Amino acid sequence: MTDEQQHSESRMPADTELIVQAQRGNMNAFEELVQRYDKRVFTIAAGYVRSADDAKDIYQEVFLRVYKGLSKFELRSEFSTWLYRITTNVCLSHRSNGKRLAHTSLDELSQDEEGQPYALKDSIAGDELTDRHTHNEEISERVQQAMNKLSPKQRMVFTLKHYEGYKLKEIAAMLNCTEGTVKKYLFEATARMRGQLKDLV
């Protein structure tokens, strides 16, 4: 990397700088914050509800809450932690409010952080659940049904860990709970999933 490239990167404002500017009413700073995290927020939402329409609703609600709450953000934690906590809360309330659950196939393509397409079924935990040599449609439907039977927090933890690849410590920060609680939800979710899919495992 050249000195010029390093200098160029060093001029990129940190989240903290953008937050302070946004708190002062600079909409360009707020928009840059949104652009830095919008793909990840949408990916988390899409992994949870597995419906593009519902994910868009969640996405809009998340950044509306961020916009309204940014003036009270005191920089005591990472902006990303605060943002993802809002995201998980909106996802959980979205389901508990009884909004429709999508019945889209896990074969439906989504995009990762790099913009690369992947099938949702390819990212679920355990190759045994998604054996490429079995009937994909049947597995997709069965996994969908099993996921729908998890409690909201079990499903969220399972999604964040196995679809998004977050560590237990990061998930605990997002959900504002202990790592032990996250482990409990993950254990329960995995056990329920395996119980629902025992004939496929």
* CATH number of domain containing 154: 1.10.10.10
Residue 109 lies in a domain: no
Is residue 17 domain-shared with residue 63, that is, in the same domain? yes
Is residue 98 domain-shared with residue 127, that is, in the same domain? no
Give me the DSSP letters along 67-119: HHHGGG--SSS-HHHHHHHHHHHHHHHHHHTTPPPP---TTSEEE-TTS-EEE
Tens-digit pLDDT profile for residues 37-71: 999 999 999 888 878 888 999 999 999 999 999 99
Q: Which residue numbers in the chain have pLDDT < 70?
A: 1-11, 95-137, 200-201
Residue 190 lies in a domain: yes
Output phi, psi for 24, to 5 deg.
-90, 5
Verdict on whether the full-model pTM lies above 0.85:
no
**Domain, as residue range, for 140:** 122-201
Residue 94 lies in a domain: yes
pLDDT at 201: 57
Tokens 């999604």, residue located: 159
Number of structural domains the chain divides into: 2
Task: Please identify, among 102, 132, 153, the residue that sits at the C-terminal boundary of a domain.
Answer: 102
* CATH number of domain containing 92: 1.10.1740.10
Nearest to 124 by CA among 21, 197, 19: 197
Residue 116 lies in a domain: no
- What does the alpha-carbon distance between residue 141 and residue 134 come to, in Å, rounded to a whole number? 13
